Amino acid sequence: MLLLTVVALLLPFVAYFATARSIVEIWDSSGTFTHGYVILPISLWLVWQRRDAIAQLPAAPYWPALLALAACGAAWLLAEFGDVQIVRHYAFVAMLPLVVLALLGKRIAWALAFPLAFLLFAVPFGDVFINPLIGVTADFTVWALRATGIPVLRDGTNFSIPSGNWSVVEACSGVRYLIASVTLGCLYAYLTFRSTWRRALFILASVLVPILANGLRAYMIVMLGHLSGMTVAVGVDHLIYGWLFFGLVMFLLFWLGSLWREDAPADEQSAPARAAAVAAASAGSAPSSRFAAAVLAIAACVGVWPAYAAWLAQREGAAAPAELASFQGAWPQAAPFARWSPSYPAASAELQQYFAQADGRHPGHPVGLHLRYYRKQDHNTKLISSVNRMAGEKDANWHSVASGLRDENVGGRTITVRESTLAGAGGRLLVWNWYWVDGRYTANDYLGKVLQVKQKVLTGSDDGAAVMVFSPFEDKPEPARAAMREFLAANLARVDATLDANKRK
C-alpha cells in the first residue's frame, strides 16, 4: 500500500509538472516566497510524527473524493484558459490532500488534516496584499510622526518631513513579515495548543501583530533618519533593522504563546496493545485490488485536464499578426506632452498617439491614447496581472498618487474606467484605463479574467487589449476629465473598430 500511495501522490506532479515548476521558479526568484522550499519537508515531518496513530487506522478508498479531485482539475483548466496562475497553483496543491483522502479514506485523511493543509502555504500567494499594506503602513507612519509633533506633507505614499523625503514602497509593505508570521503562527499553534480557540486566537495574533509591527518599524526607521540628519537608516541598512525588529517581535509572540501551551497527553498504550491495534487496522483495511483501482481512478481524474488543454493548444491555428497602426483619430495629432508609458509587458501590437482638439476648447489639456493588444498570452506577457501598473515601482519619472473606479458617460454610452493620478517632475497626469476582452469593455480584473475564460472556451482565442487615455493637469483634474470625455466621444467608435479588426473570428 505504501508503494501505491507514493505512486498516487506523484501523479499530480507528473500531470502538472509545468505548474509545479512555476511554483518553484517563484520561490527561487522572489525573496517573499523563499519559505516555500521548507513547506513540503515540514509537512512530511508532521506526517512522520503521526505515524503511530496512522498505523492504527484502517485504510480504504473514499470514492466521493474523486469528485473533488475532478473539480480541482476543472478549476486548473479554467485557470489555464484565463492564465490565472494563483488558481492553477492552488488547484494543483489541493490535489495532494485529496489524493490521500481518495486513496486512504476519511479517517487517515482527518488524522493528517493539518500536515496536508499546511501544504497550501507552499503556494506563492500574497502579492495582492502589497498595495493595501503599503497604504496601511503609510497611514500609520504619517499618523505616528504627526503624533510625535513632526510636520508631514503627504502625497499618496510619499511624504516629506523637515529633514528629508520618504516613500513607502513595496519593500516597506511588510508583506514578507505577514506571510512569514502567518506560516510560522499556524505551525506553532498546531504544535503548541490543543484547544481550537487557543489555536484560533494565536493565528489571529500572527496576522495582526506583524501589520502593527511593520507600522512601528517604518516609523522608527523614519525617526532614525530624521534624528541622525539622514545619515542612518536611509539605505539597505534600514532593511536589516527591519528584519531584526521583526525577529524580536516574533520571539516575543512565541514566548507569550508558550505561557499558554497545552501539552499533548502522554501515550500510555502498551506495546502489545499498540501491536494489536495495528493488526486490527490492517485486517480492517480494503483489499489491494481496491487500492489499485483507486490509483487508476485518481490517474484519470488528474490527467484528463492537462491532456485536454494540450489537445486544444494543438488545435489552435496560426493567426495574422495584430496591428494597431491603422487607427486614425478624429482629432488632429499633437506633439508628445509626457514621457509616460505604463508598466505593462510587451504586447503583440502597441500604439501611442497624442491629440489636441482643433477648436481649442481645452487649452493646456491635450489627450493621449495608448493601446496594447495581446495575443498568445503567457505568464510573462499577459493583459491582466497584479504586476501591471500605470507607473512601475522603479519608474524614475512617475509615481502613482491615487487610483479608483469611476463611471463615465461617453456619447450616451456608460463605461467604467480605472482612474489613476500620476505625479512626476513635469506635473500631474490623469489616466483612464480599461480592458477590451471578448468584444467587451471592463475595468474589473476578475470580470476580465472570466471573459478571457469564456472566449478561450468558445473560440480558442485569448486576444485582449488594454485601452488607456491620459491628459496632463495642474491643480484640479476636472478639466482633464472633460477633455478626455470629449476625446472618447469622438474616437471611441474608432478604437472599437481597430480592436475588432484584430479579433479572430
What's the pLDDT tens digit per position in 375-414? 988 888 899 988 899 988 777 789 888 899 999 998 788 9
Q: Is residue 324 part of a domain?
A: no
Rounded Cα–Cα distance for residues 3 and 169 (Å): 49
Based on the fold, state whether residues 239 and 108 are members of the same structural domain. Answer: no
- Give the position of cell 539622514: 230
Q: Would you tell me how many other CB atoms lie within 10 Å of the CB of residue 34?
A: 15
Q: Would you tell me how many other CB atoms lie within 10 Å of the CB of residue 213?
A: 22
Please, which pLDDT band fits residue 370 given cuts at 50, 70 and 90?
A: very high
Quote the cell numbers at residue 320: 495574422
Contact 119, 99 (CB under 8 A): no
Based on the fold, state whether residues 231 and 299 are members of the same structural domain. Answer: no
Q: Is residue 318 part of a domain?
A: no
Residue predicted with more confidence, 205 or 267: 205
Sign of CA dihedral 128, 129, 135, 138: negative
Based on the fold, state whether residues 478 and 364 are members of the same structural domain. Answer: yes
Write the CA distances from 469 to 199, 420, 432, integer angstroms.
50, 11, 5
- Give the position of cell 505593462: 344
Average pLDDT, the chain: 88
The alpha-helical segments, DSSP class H, found in 30-174 are 36-49, 51-55, 65-82, 85-104, 106-111, 113-117, 130-147
Based on the fold, state whether residues 15 and 94 are members of the same structural domain. Answer: yes
Q: Is residue 263 part of a domain?
A: no
pLDDT > 70? residue 233 = no
Based on the fold, state whether residues 163 and 244 are members of the same structural domain. Answer: yes
Based on the fold, state whether residues 60 and 112 are members of the same structural domain. Answer: yes
Based on the fold, state whether residues 117 and 155 are members of the same structural domain. Answer: no
Contact 462, 376 (CB under 8 A): yes
Write the CA distances from 324 to 61, 433, 499, integer angstroms.
56, 17, 8
Rounded Cα–Cα distance for residues 430 and 471 (Å): 5
Based on the fold, state whether residues 384 and 494 are members of the same structural domain. Answer: yes
Question: Which amino acid would we find at residue 183?
Answer: T
Q: Is residue 9 part of a domain?
A: yes
Q: Would you tell me how many other CB atoms lie within 10 Å of the CB of residue 119?
A: 18
Rounded Cα–Cα distance for residues 407 and 414 (Å): 7
Question: Which amino acid would we find at residue 401?
Answer: V
Q: Is residue 279 part of a domain?
A: no
Based on the fold, state whether residues 108 and 136 are members of the same structural domain. Answer: no
Q: Is residue 175 part of a domain?
A: yes
Based on the fold, state whether residues 179 and 296 are members of the same structural domain. Answer: no
Q: What is the dihedral of CA 424, 426, 431, 436, to 10 degrees?
A: -90
Q: Residue 335: how many CA atoms within 13 Å on its side-chain side?
A: 2
* Structural domain count of the chain: 3
Based on the fold, state whether residues 207 and 305 are members of the same structural domain. Answer: no
Write the CA distances from 475 to 296, 423, 430, 483, integer angstroms.
67, 11, 11, 15
Based on the fold, state whether residues 356 and 496 are members of the same structural domain. Answer: yes
pLDDT digits (tens, 9 = 90+) for 414-460: 999 999 999 887 789 999 999 999 999 999 999 999 999 999 888 88
Q: Is residue 63 part of a domain?
A: yes
Q: Which domain holds residue 493?
A: 349-502
Reported pTM? 0.81
Q: Is residue 80 part of a domain?
A: yes
Please, which pLDDT band fits residue 12 given cuts at 50, 70 and 90?
A: very high
